Structure 1
């Protein structure tokens, strides 16, 4: 930071104050002083003597330090008293201003706004003193006791005015807190009493003999040197006290920033400098530069390198540097001191001050010694502070690791529970959403843990972006995330948030050249409805999430019945494994009808499970159980094997039928699926064209790139591929066009009401037209009545299936039904 110069803002404020004081002096002198008249003194003090006296007393002043400010105490009261008692006020003002210019500019070397302010101050003092004396004693103050008292009063008031104005200018320019130190600035009032008394004695003596002025000069010189010596001794004691106060201020558990601020403040104040700077080694080969200037403004910056030619560089090598004013010019500074600051681990910092204040000529050796003493204390405190900073950072890191997930940076389960309990302690309603990524294990197994970790990071970022400060997103571990939403009171609002998050996860996530979809299952609970503490809420949200996953519901709000089913589900997994091993899973077949001919051209194979205790178990319950327990592969192979064997028997009976088998979402991730299908086709003796594999729209779009490899291999075998439940996913038509699909099945939710709902009819019409445009066979499922069949035939749907044609039938029943079947050309 360069030195503050010219008409920068602090100087501009001082200049404005000086101008205001000058105007006030002219106005006051015109109104109250100019016509006050001459004092009754037949033998006035010569103006030349007053001029010399004013110049000398202003030029050789004693400075009283008040922190960074300086109050100049002079013997100017002596010539001022002589002038008040013997000289016209206007002449007195002119002589004092001229003498002030000589003393301040020539003898003390003042320039700029500082000189301007001091001249304005002299004008105010002279005018105010003359005006107050005229008000108290009239135009002709006498030299009797009453006159002495009046002169003493006005001189004291003049010094008070000067102290107030000097304090004001320091506060404007540098330190607004300077007003607190005004009482110390008034410590020169006893000297004013002495000098005024000398002035009065001198006035009486000079009335009798002009040669008394020689005695006055001797007394004045002796007083000046005596007071200056006393002031130096006093300031020496004060300096020791300030150094002691400095060491006390550094005591305590301060961090590096707190120590640096104290060090820089004290360095500027005690060294009488415009600015101070502390340079410290930073992390990773950087440097921290802390600069203090102006109104105790602290500027901190981190730099990668330090200038090699800087004047303070020797201090980094342990050598103090002194640059005095008037010597060689170094950069933007006029003078400066830099000293080394040894730190822990052998590192060295630099403490420097630059641009001494006008109340000292320049920095000297005594300042270097004082600065080294400050630096020694600073060194110890900075070393301790840096160690404390390291300890605090280590503790903070451990606390962070204990409360936050290291992979995503999100709060972990412990932190989430604490936040939830805090909300409940405040009786704040809230919703907890617990979510799990579907098929995340497949990502780790197929693509590696690095891809899996990046997927988790991006999922966390996407959830935070979607929540957008409305709540807290956490990661519990694995592929499990949670969201805490305060002030959620209704199921509808919570479900809307859950649906929004689920939809956000449907958009592909780019990881390198891969594009993955992170579909989620979400369980929702509300407090206080579903629980009053974090543990209960999270446990019940987990139950709801599991139900959402097993039922493919996506989002589910907790219901009490869910908890009662949890033990049943655990037992059902074991029973399902045993049923698959014993081939107790029954495969039934639902016919597919060709609308143009009324002929049955195929059938869809469906799995059914009759539990020995619980009876019929719906597919919507046991299929998710199989998917999430690792049983879906043997179940799929069992259905596929039975279906191909039955298809072969139908074809031997003369029925040229195809069979459709559903594939689970995980099936396309299995690299050996095409080889297994090819083997089973060969074992059954069924041509590949007689097998249709149905895959849900969302299954294909979860990983279109990965799915395409498997689909292409199946297509090469001659197997037909169908999109099941078309219209319920988020597929891209462009992507569908690229996939080797033969058939498209319209979901039953659009089919069942086309006879009564024109909107569903429009959806089906558009789907049929789209399928035909893509050269696909279009199948409609869920045909429950003749009117629906009639509308589908009119719309050009190729194949239909549903209870109106036939319910799903066991293999033997299907064969009997097929033998007795006649074409349904009439739609009856």
Structure 2
């Protein structure tokens, strides 16, 4: 079908007559009337710029030259029900010309028919691509005619599944194949619920793909840059946890989603068979980018402080965008696009004003934001004008928002970098001010921590570190099998008495070094590194005992290498030409068979050591069958309950002496139990059982009642005395403890300050928050709080200093060697100085000789108790001892100069 070409410029009135039919339309909403008015205005502008009336279309001539101009004619089908046969027979005066090949008709409910002809004037067969370069067209149908007969029909558009298409490309494309001197006429029906933009381009196939590849590179360069900026900001957010960088990354992600949707890339690559989802994603992306941009703006400009009125407006806009975001999936596409277009106008205008408002207040961020948002707003206005039909179709109106967003991202990235740099400088300045103070405090705490977690002789980590390491390992990998192995130097006491402490310590250092070297060659020995990067494999459990953790799964049940190492450890050590036999004993307990915690495994490994054969260097493996300590566990608590009911439990008291005045200022209540069959039962055997079974609560209630009655009796002759009562972690958890104490004071007539409640540092650390609350409540009532056995556990000093304690008792294991070991003396002196600096009264317990007492007094210790002063005594004997002590004191004072 060959149509002769003839230009005839029409008047504006003629165009208006041809374009808009006189039949009325049914408009149901006010927004539709507004769109109609905009469409009329756009039609006038577009007509003035690019439209001409054609009597008949001139075909696009394909010549050997590389470039040629595309143009088309269009006819508006206001009812949207015209068929191809009707359109083909339309008179020429019903068609309007778009000479530059691109037109924008705004948001309209009409369908538009395009008509163009293509003639091949080359001697070759040609493959051409006809492109409608706007991917958001919903329904596009191509009808190709040659010599007046239909040769091809193609239905496409983003309301249909993406595949199949003539060309795998986001735009709406049609392949045309023309023989030499052949002409084809193409009719295109276009209908869309959004903006009607129809940029037509006809190109040779090779030229089209070269141009498309170049455009694709530009697009993905843009997407890549934005994606890198998103990743950087997410990394900064994860590092600093500042919401500003998260909001910025999410806003940029919204832009990516919007551009990928409106350009058709997401439809093409992510959900090509879901056109309905494609429309919803585009609608959701618009309020999403707006919402996170508003959040970023509010955080970046700090409008809560810099401009409270602006902050309220931003919050209102955020509420609107949030509602839009949740309702977008349920909105009609046309109404959603209309709402998005008009809300974007207010949104971008608001943020364009926000920057200067904050800038005028003297905030540096306002200048950056203004510079960044201006090009984006211009780009958005250009894109929106194109979508509404107000601006012509060209490179800037098509890509203005992308160009603006790229400039905005670049400027705001510089702004965030500037902000990050300034915040970093401020933090460095603030940290530098406190660094010196923290450094000295840290050094002191590290020294004390080192003393509490490492053996002073061997330098190896001690029991506290070993239990912590084992428990951590069991928690992290409970499905694996482990074995706790112990090695005890049985002749250490004999070597110490024979050769002296210095040589004995030298031998222990040699043994420790040898064990570390042997363990390093065994890959199945569990190893960790401490805070200083030192490797820990072997631990010094006590004075003569070492331990380690074996990964049984890694060893594969082959312990030949370990047995070889143990035999080497049993070899004599040469000292001054003497071969010293160490006679080590080995024990082991396996997880999970022999215990579920470090303490339980260590205990059972000790039991295994006791049942090891004495001939040779074999390792004793724990077996419940040979655990003699378990025989009494079934009946011991029942016997204890009966003993309490029958008043068979006794209290012994050990005095505490003030080292400055020499006076006896208090006594500690110590529980004693004489079993009818077993004789005297060690408290270490039944107190832990009582704590495990909950029996400790009844036991503590009895001790408080008996101790207060005894103290009231002692006050008749010694009113200055106080009594110390041991309180367990279970007692602190009990809500009855305060009531029991109050009742005991009422019955005895004592004051709360006469009672000192002793709690071990280990018990205080079991549930720090609960313990702290309970002790604070007791201290407020006037009870004295004492931290018992300090130095036997691994506590947090920052926590201990929060306890409302007035007294700290050094554990006997910490002070027993201060007269013979310089390192032990330094540790005790440091602990005393630290405790006194924190306001504690320091008590040394377990004093067995005058030399130790004098050393503690010289180091600043306040009180002492121990066998050297007095063994624990029942109340009757304690009275006699106190009378004798006072008589001796009076005699000493009277005989003095």
- The TM-score range, normalised by the shorter chain, is 0.3 to 0.5
Q: Higher Cα Rg: structure 1 or 2?
A: 1
Q: TM-score, normalised by structure 1?
A: 0.37
Q: TM-score, normalised by structure 2?
A: 0.34
